[in-house]
Structure 1
């Protein structure tokens, strides 16, 4: 395995990914090469790229692309490293969740990825430091153990598989250093990362059907625009013969959902009549029609005060509850000691609604929770008014480039909690380019502006502003 061949390989990849090496005064990186015979005797041999502002020798700062080689035909270690002098320019970059998300996908069970890339106090785990595969460079690894946020063992760097891993790490470093300056560079990076970023295609509807059959009470949670209500209705249509629907709001009460009394407006005198809520109507139907599957859909379940709305029926939501001697009165002359097996509940919850109280743990235990995330809508790819879209049903198009632009910003800058705010695919469906521009201007732009005003996604403000400025000629900052 030739160190020189791999050095030339990563430099060629860097050029493909946008590193402009022909400018003597504005270089994209400084190359380090410490692979002399003495160093290769497990005495700190490495090569790779460091920050372009650093010196060609001596201690250095910030992120590096670091490769620990050997000349014994044994495994190498490919790493994103940090100079032993710590951070000077890259500390903020180290805090971006997207950097960790990206390199997590580039490592497998023979690699490692820290949960915090700004951490230069915690060393590598025993699985790497004490690995039998890396005994030939164990002293070198111990020397740098605290400044290697992520690494991957590669058996043969000159094999197709080895080059694929190295290319992906160089592509990750190119994104980190912002090398790409045109579509060609970005395409090369995407192709290098694609084998590691592929996600399993799954039929969400079948998964949810199976989960509902098993657990009986489920919540579909996710950002707006991910099709939660549509999915609930679709699953209900397939699995059940009878469907009941209600939507919760801040004023929803026990008397709305379970049972109450209301004035009888048909009489001249003030009289009251009983009112059966949606839950009671659905439950009565299920009890009286035991051979039918009955589905109750509760849209926006977390918009109401659930303790007040559910009251004593909260006890009944146990998907494996046996018949007990405790009877819960649902309405006058209607009591049950368990919910019938033909009765199912699908609820939806908008994870972007920050004004709502967190659902308590007792409710979480009684329901199964299925997360729906923003995703690309497949269809026949075509051009529409110079914009790349996927044609879906009828005259509708999915504007995949706009979706991808917003998704990339969220993936790179959003915390785990902030990912719940990403606009779903429903925001990017339109019948024309003009309609899509209006959706961006009057729906997505105000939404992102509100997020920023609330102090969310602060690190992404310039990226969002650049997107809106170029797409609809509007600035987030007046």
Structure 2
């Protein structure tokens, strides 16, 4: 069985782009210690280590390591680190995408460290103490600090077992940059596909249900993810009367709630009352209690919310019973509770780093729904460009930096020439700005290669 699995992982490696027959620049060094004594003392292992390491003895850096046995008991498949620690791979260990990838390859019978550069923390007892692995407990104890990702495989020769092992080899191939052509990349994608699938959800339907439960929602996400469009779609879906406003730095209480303005049509200076967007929508909801009313607030975090909302902030409690406190919205217009047929959908651009953090009181009063960049089915959608940008973000971006990824709206064009113009005059300046602000530093050469391959333009010119 062991020899069969060894042949399988070597074949996978070749399919994913490794060329073990090269005299120089070999893709890996293969280690194998599966003799009778090793199996008896449960110290058997085999797998790939860094190509600069020796064929025996302690080694450095990331490895693909498999701990087998000859007792028909579960095996352990791991992304490991040599007991000598890091020599060439420390920077690689800090890339968020590496952990992001391997975390998707494990299930409840596996483990993934929160920090792949950490070689001081041992595996949790949920792995070291599990009954299924008692036959290799000494091995696990020896390497407990240098196994950032591992997965129990009950039967390595079964279809499921081979699927897991192939996925780990594919992950290691991405780590080592083995793929050099489309066939290699396609094979890697196919090996990872079932692990990386994300469930497709009808966001409008999900938001419609959330709105019914919570009443006040903020749609947050990077630019181009269709936040405003989605808000309008939800309003249409429930047949609501829609009011729309967009906040900016100068939006004030008098714009949004109530104020007075000069009457410019009168020859003498006089003022007239002005109902803001909120008050107009609210008054309509009060007067039409059997009709759903939605106020859409675009770019809610662009304004000074304390100044804009004033005392009405108190009313945004989705389960508020009638209060004994009345809030004056406008002269002769007081309420102690927002009507049940009145809802608010706000949008917030998570890539706008110039904006103040939304305070926790507002966060408690609203439900927060994140719209992420996603591929769409359209002849005008340039999927290859979208996928390349997404791959760079997924590999190099921190959780916070993922909020900067350009959404699908950036990749819609009628012709390739139009798409190139969008890349040149919209996406490239955006990425360049990120880099100039010190964001996504590790990805700068990847971005530069993408723009040069696509436009023959360097991002640093």
- TM-score, L = length of structure 2: 0.99
Q: Is the CA contact 2:42–2:135 (under 8 Å) kept in the aligned structure 1?
A: no
CA distance in 1, matches of 2:445, 2:24: 27
Using the TM superposition, give the Cα deviation of residue 275 of structure 1 relative to its aligned residue in structure 2, in angstroms.
0.6
CA distance in 1, matches of 2:36, 2:326: 81
CA distance in 2, matches of 1:241, 1:65: 56
Q: Is the CA contact 1:42–1:136 (under 8 Å) kept in the aligned structure 2?
A: no
Give structure 1 stretches of 5+ with no counterpart. Answer: 380-390, 392-396
Q: CA RMSD in A?
A: 0.7
Matched, 1:452 2:435: yes
Matched, 1:436 2:419: yes
Matched, 1:61 2:44: no
CA distance in 2, matches of 1:129, 1:425: 43
Q: Deviations over 1:220-246 (max 9, x none)?
A: 000000000001111112214311000
Q: Deviations over 1:121-167 (max 9, x none)?
A: 01111111000110100111010000000000000000110000000
The equivalences for 1:247-266 within 5 A come to 247-266=246-265
Q: Is the CA contact 1:69–1:76 (under 8 Å) kept in the aligned structure 2?
A: yes
Q: Is the CA contact 2:18–2:27 (under 8 Å) kept in the aligned structure 1?
A: yes
Q: Is the CA contact 2:247–2:302 (under 8 Å) kept in the aligned structure 1?
A: yes
- Give the corresponding residue for 2:185: 186
**Alignment length, in residue pairs?**
461
The equivalences for 1:250-399 within 5 A come to 250-379=249-378, 391=379, 397-399=380-382
Q: Is the CA contact 2:281–2:295 (under 8 Å) kept in the aligned structure 1?
A: yes
- Tell me, what secondary structure is at the counterpart of 1:207? helix
Q: Is the CA contact 1:40–1:71 (under 8 Å) kept in the aligned structure 2?
A: yes
Q: Is the CA contact 1:44–1:143 (under 8 Å) kept in the aligned structure 2?
A: no
- Give the corresponding residue for 1:386: none
- Give the corresponding residue for 2:225: 226
CA distance in 1, matches of 2:323, 2:234: 30
CA distance in 2, matches of 1:436, 1:241: 36
Using the TM superposition, give the Cα deviation of residue 424 of structure 1 relative to its aligned residue in structure 2, in angstroms.
0.2
Moved beyond 2 Å, runs of 4+:
none
Matched, 1:405 2:388: yes
- Give the corresponding residue for 1:198: 197
Q: Is the CA contact 1:42–1:138 (under 8 Å) kept in the aligned structure 2?
A: no
Using the TM superposition, give the Cα deviation of residue 42 of structure 1 relative to its aligned residue in structure 2, in angstroms.
3.8
Matched, 1:114 2:141: no
Give structure 2 stretches of 5+ with no counterpart. Answer: none
Using the TM superposition, give the Cα deviation of residue 335 of structure 1 relative to its aligned residue in structure 2, in angstroms.
0.5
Q: Is the CA contact 1:122–1:146 (under 8 Å) kept in the aligned structure 2?
A: yes
- Give the corresponding residue for 1:97: 96
